[in-house]
Amino acid sequence: MDQFRIGQITVSRVEEWSGGFSSADFLFAGYEEPVWRRREPEFVPDFYLPDEGKIFGVLQSWVIDTGAERILFDTGAGNDKERPGIPIFGNLQTDYLARLARAGYRPEDIDTVVCSHLHIDHVGWNTQLVDARWQPTFPNARYILPVADRDYWDPAGTGARPTEQGAFVNAGVFEDSVQPIIDAGRAIWAEDGHEVLPGMTLHARPGHTPGQMALALEDGGEKALFVGDILHHPMQVHRPDWNSRFCEDPEQAIASRRKTLEEVADSGALLVPAHFGGEHLVRVTREDGAFRPVYVKDLR
């Protein structure tokens, strides 16, 4: 689904990249082969490519347009960026900005950029290479970033440090996609409960990273929750105890995932993750003491 509405607010999807990302046993910490195999037919072809033996993943952004303000949620991996930790997202040359234009928006139309967390594939288009320097891509935007991720990912930061894997995967990201925003005076550092606009609030959901946040959107009695990497795949609705291998604090990630699933199941909000294929968003219900994804295409 490339566009939907929450009340009077229009939400447009902008895809940067899609394809086979990794095998299920690599992506999921806690992977259990029999459990996966029982569920696998449910995921073909929108979320799993059996011929490749890979999870189907998407890098995508969402433009939330109130009519008066335009908010871009997450900015993908970006072009021209060295990414030795995840080479599949390194030195991309995508037509992301052209796709943004086809959705009806120029970079200068974006008023606010919100990054759910400061990982490689959520901050990349914060900047673009101009005359050999990284410059803000969205010249009129304020960039709302999670404060708990600032010191954690900043190579010069103090306090807790990333895991060894986290530091490897996110190498260079702060320097080319976050620091230029700080230097340009565009960064706003958000804590739990930060109001982006009326009816649009950020909620801390730490674990994947210390600063991972979800954006709750409500208008006209309708709700959506944009969750970044709290979930990577529908399997984690069935099994919220399955983290991705990129979660920095596994126990906290599981707690945040369960809290998120409880919230959307009880409120009826649309769940909008960062990397889902298919219709790219789901609803969640409770079934026999567990959670179940209800795919939007099945509701039509």
Token pair of 77 as six digits: 């991996």
**What pLDDT, on the 0 to 100 scale, is given for residue 298?**
58
User: 21 φ, ψ to 5°?
Assistant: -100, -55
Distance CA 113, CA 246 (A): 23
Q: Report how many domains make up the chain.
A: 1
Q: Which CATH number is 261's domain given?
A: 3.60.15.10
**What pLDDT, on the 0 to 100 scale, is given for residue 296?**
83
**What pLDDT, on the 0 to 100 scale, is given for residue 297?**
73
User: What range defines the domain where residue 220 resides?
Assistant: 3-299
Collect all residues with Cβ–Cβ distance below 8 Å to 166 and sequence separation of at least 6. Answer: 209, 246, 248
**What pLDDT, on the 0 to 100 scale, is given for residue 78?**
98
Q: What is the mean pLDDT of each run of 10 residues along the chain (300 residues)?
A: 95 98 96 97 97 97 98 98 95 98 98 98 98 97 98 92 96 98 98 98 98 98 98 98 97 98 98 97 95 79
* SS percent in the chain: helix, strand, coil, step 5: 25, 30, 40
Distance CA 196, CA 272 (A): 17
For residue 269, what is the DSSP state?
A: P
